[in-house]
Structure 1
Amino acid sequence: MKKQFNRMKQLANQTVGRAEKTEVLSEDLLQIERRLDTVRSMCHHSHKRLIACFQGQHGTDAERRHKKLPLTALAQNMQEASAQLEESLLGKMLETCGDAENQLALELSQHEVFVEKEIMDPLYSIAEVEIPNIQKQRKQLARLVLDWDSVRARWNQAHKSSGANFQGLPSKIDTLKEEMDEAGNKVEQCKDQLAADMYNFMAKEGEYGRFFVTVSTFP
């Protein structure tokens, strides 16, 4: 029983050691990786809440949005009433107020289109395109590392199994060495691309922050 326990402990230590060896990302990159989900969630929810702030129809141009605004309906109501009251004082006031409300509706529709283009579209791109692409690369790197570990383990096993008969298995060992080197190169290429994309993403934090500064001024 004790022997079995010691064997299990040895296997566990080997597993932990292997996991440490196959972590190919630096601590800086691991910190960035941990932040990606938080940033994605923040952008996703900000995009969703901004849509809820709109009075016009999301995804339409300024002219079509203007026609559907409650302010536009109010302006039309005032203008129609002013026409019925003709040249009376109340009629003239309603006409003036209706024009003012219509101008406000026009400015609001233009502002919403601006917010959608300059803020919401970039936030959507961050949450649904940029970060998911980085995370897909991270998963691809993990798969490549597993492949690398597998062929490296087979190469090590071939060395151990050959023992005194090492000269009898040169072709197999050479083949495994080539596979191991190829797998290692794929890991390095994927890791370099992932690192470049991660650092590039974090380098644009100031730009992303500008979106939220603009959001804070959204009425």
Structure 2
Amino acid sequence: EVLSEDLLQIERRLDTVRSMCHHSHKRLMACFQGQHGTDAERRHKKLPLTALAQNMQEASTQLEDSLLGKMLETCGDAEHQLALELSQHEVLIEKEIVDPLYGIAEVEIPNIQKQRKQLAKLVLDWDSVRARWNQAHKSSGTNFQGLPSKIDTLKEEMDEAGNKVEQCKDQLAADMYNFMAKEGEFGKFFVTISGQKSQPLGRLWKST
């Protein structure tokens, strides 16, 4: 094993973080009432709350100047405004939280894991050429000068393979540590959810 214990712990943690981000992204998507990937205006038009507001406003015109008609007109305007705020809220959550969570789960961590697989392959290549170099030494026996060119060639290959392993390991370690250093930023996503989710929804419940 070419990785330190610290890096092995980070490697195991990456799977947990990826799973957490993946499921959080999925659950947040399920909370949206608007269409994912659309702007606030288009999302607003498709919200169930917008349909409710339109229904109230249409009914108010049919009831003309009656008390119920005026109440429906006022409530319809309020629901329309709440729908607008909800659509803006969902766009904000999508941009600031949902999309970054997707990037972590489906881009950043998979890229690190690909590097880990590449390192494992390079280590196997290194082991293979090292084994051939050792075998060449044994085959030469006491007459070390019998296979000088082959041994030298294998030595060069072994050194080159070892250098590739070290370069890949250094890059992998740097990426792992950089990723884990951003855990505080990842935590802010959920703080943002806790602080933002109740704002439009709270007004919605109060209005109804």
The normalised TM-score by structure 1 is 0.87
Deviations 1:22-54 (A, max 9, x none): x11111100000011111111001010011111
Aligned equivalents of 2:136, 2:182: Cα separation in 1: 48
Query: Could you tell me how far 1:215 is from its partner in structure 2?
Result: 2.6
Deviations 1:128-180 (A, max 9, x none): 00000000000000000000000011111111111111111111110000000
The normalised TM-score by structure 2 is 0.92
Q: Which range moves more in the overlay, 56-65 or 121-130?
A: 56-65
How many residues in Structure 1 have an aligned counterpart in Structure 2?
194
Which residue of structure 2 lines up, in the alignment, with residue 136 of structure 1?
Answer: 114
Which residue of structure 2 lines up, in the alignment, with residue 47 of structure 1?
Answer: 25
Which residue of structure 1 lines up, in the alignment, with residue 9 of structure 2?
Answer: 31
Which residue of structure 1 lines up, in the alignment, with residue 88 of structure 2?
Answer: 110
Aligned equivalents of 2:110, 2:175: Cα separation in 1: 12
Deviations 1:66-114 (A, max 9, x none): 0111110010011011111111111111111000000000000000000
Deviations 1:166-212 (A, max 9, x none): 11111111000000000000001100110010000000000011112
2:142 aligned counterpart, secondary structure = helix
Question: Once superposed, what is the RMSD of the aligned Cα atoms?
Answer: 0.7
Which residue of structure 1 lines up, in the alignment, with residue 200 of structure 2?
Answer: none
Which residue of structure 2 lines up, in the alignment, with residue 96 of structure 1?
Answer: 74
Aligned equivalents of 2:58, 2:91: Cα separation in 1: 28
Which residue of structure 1 lines up, in the alignment, with residue 203 of structure 2?
Answer: none
Deviations 1:10-29 (A, max 9, x none): xxxxxxxxxxxxx1111110
1:120 aligns with 2:91: no
> Structure 1: which 5+ runs fail to align?
1-22
Aligned equivalents of 2:92, 2:148: Cα separation in 1: 68
Query: Could you tell me how far 1:57 is from its partner in structure 2?
Result: 1.1
1:164 aligned counterpart, secondary structure = coil
1:178 aligned counterpart, secondary structure = helix
Query: Could you tell me how far 1:60 is from its partner in structure 2?
Result: 1.0
2:34 aligned counterpart, secondary structure = coil
Over the matched positions of the two proteins, sequence identity in percent amounts to 93
Aligned equivalents of 1:87, 1:101: Cα separation in 2: 20
